[in-house]
Protein backbone atom coordinates (compact mmCIF):
# COMPACT_ATOMS: atom_id res chain seq x y z
CA UNK A 1 0.00 0.00 0.00
CA UNK A 2 1.26 3.45 -0.91
CA UNK A 3 0.00 6.73 0.51
CA UNK A 4 0.21 10.15 -1.07
CA UNK A 5 -0.76 13.66 -0.12
CA UNK A 6 -1.99 15.79 -3.00
CA UNK A 7 -1.55 19.52 -2.41
CA UNK A 8 -4.00 21.43 -4.59
CA UNK A 9 -3.94 25.05 -5.69
CA UNK A 10 -7.39 26.15 -6.89
CA UNK A 11 -8.61 28.93 -9.11
CA UNK A 12 -9.84 32.01 -7.24
CA UNK A 13 -13.11 31.34 -5.44
CA UNK A 14 -13.12 27.61 -6.27
CA UNK A 15 -11.68 26.15 -3.06
CA UNK A 16 -14.96 25.02 -1.49
CA UNK A 17 -16.27 23.57 -4.75
CA UNK A 18 -13.02 21.67 -5.37
CA UNK A 19 -12.96 20.30 -1.82
CA UNK A 20 -16.60 19.19 -2.01
CA UNK A 21 -16.13 17.59 -5.43
CA UNK A 22 -13.00 15.68 -4.42
CA UNK A 23 -14.74 14.43 -1.23
CA UNK A 24 -17.34 12.73 -3.42
CA UNK A 25 -14.92 11.01 -5.82
CA UNK A 26 -15.21 7.23 -5.67
CA UNK A 27 -11.84 6.40 -7.15
CA UNK A 28 -11.41 3.39 -9.40
CA UNK A 29 -7.68 3.38 -8.62
CA UNK A 30 -7.40 3.94 -4.87
CA UNK A 31 -9.11 5.31 -1.80
CA UNK A 32 -9.44 8.95 -0.82
CA UNK A 33 -9.06 8.86 2.95
CA UNK A 34 -9.15 12.58 3.78
CA UNK A 35 -9.89 15.93 2.15
CA UNK A 36 -9.10 19.16 4.00
CA UNK A 37 -9.33 22.79 2.95
CA UNK A 38 -6.35 24.65 4.36
CA UNK A 39 -4.69 28.06 4.50
CA UNK A 40 -1.29 28.85 3.07
CA UNK A 41 0.16 28.29 -0.38
CA UNK A 42 -2.23 25.39 -1.04
CA UNK A 43 -6.00 25.40 -0.78
CA UNK A 44 -6.96 21.72 -0.46
CA UNK A 45 -4.97 18.70 0.75
CA UNK A 46 -6.10 15.21 -0.24
CA UNK A 47 -4.82 11.98 1.30
CA UNK A 48 -4.93 8.99 -1.06
CA UNK A 49 -4.05 5.32 -0.66
CA UNK A 50 -3.49 2.88 -3.50
CA UNK A 51 -2.02 -0.57 -4.02
CA UNK A 52 0.96 0.79 -5.97
CA UNK A 53 2.47 3.93 -7.46
CA UNK A 54 0.81 3.40 -10.85
CA UNK A 55 -2.67 3.28 -9.29
CA UNK A 56 -1.91 6.30 -7.14
CA UNK A 57 -0.74 8.24 -10.19
CA UNK A 58 -3.89 7.34 -12.13
CA UNK A 59 -6.11 8.43 -9.22
CA UNK A 60 -4.33 11.78 -9.16
CA UNK A 61 -4.08 12.49 -12.88
CA UNK A 62 -7.38 10.94 -14.03
CA UNK A 63 -9.61 11.88 -11.11
CA UNK A 64 -8.31 14.56 -8.74
CA UNK A 65 -6.43 16.82 -11.18
CA UNK A 66 -9.36 16.89 -13.64
CA UNK A 67 -11.80 18.42 -11.13
CA UNK A 68 -12.97 21.82 -12.42
CA UNK A 69 -11.23 24.61 -10.52
CA UNK A 70 -8.00 22.69 -9.86
CA UNK A 71 -5.18 24.87 -11.10
CA UNK A 72 -2.12 22.86 -10.00
CA UNK A 73 -1.27 19.80 -7.90
CA UNK A 74 1.85 18.75 -6.03
CA UNK A 75 2.10 15.22 -4.67
CA UNK A 76 4.09 14.13 -1.64
CA UNK A 77 4.58 10.39 -1.10
CA UNK A 78 4.60 8.94 2.38
CA UNK A 79 7.72 6.87 3.09
CA UNK A 80 8.75 4.63 5.98
CA UNK A 81 12.26 5.56 7.11
CA UNK A 82 12.46 2.90 9.81
> What is the value of pTM for the model shown?
0.93
Cα angle 70-17-14, degrees, rounded to a multiple of 5: 55
Whole-number pLDDT of residue 82 = 82
d(Cα 25, Cα 47) in Å, to the nearest integer?
A: 12
Whole-number pLDDT of residue 80 = 86
Whole-number pLDDT of residue 55 = 97
d(Cα 80, Cα 72) in Å, to the nearest integer?
A: 27
Exposure of 39 in the CB half-sphere (CA atoms within 13 A): 0
How do the pLDDT tens digits run along the chain, 82 residues long? Answer: 999 999 999 999 999 999 999 999 999 999 999 999 999 999 999 999 999 999 999 999 999 999 999 999 999 999 888 8
d(Cα 61, Cα 43) in Å, to the nearest integer?
A: 18
Amino acid sequence: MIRGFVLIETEGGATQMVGDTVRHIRSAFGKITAVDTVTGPYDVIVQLEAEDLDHLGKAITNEVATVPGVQRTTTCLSVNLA
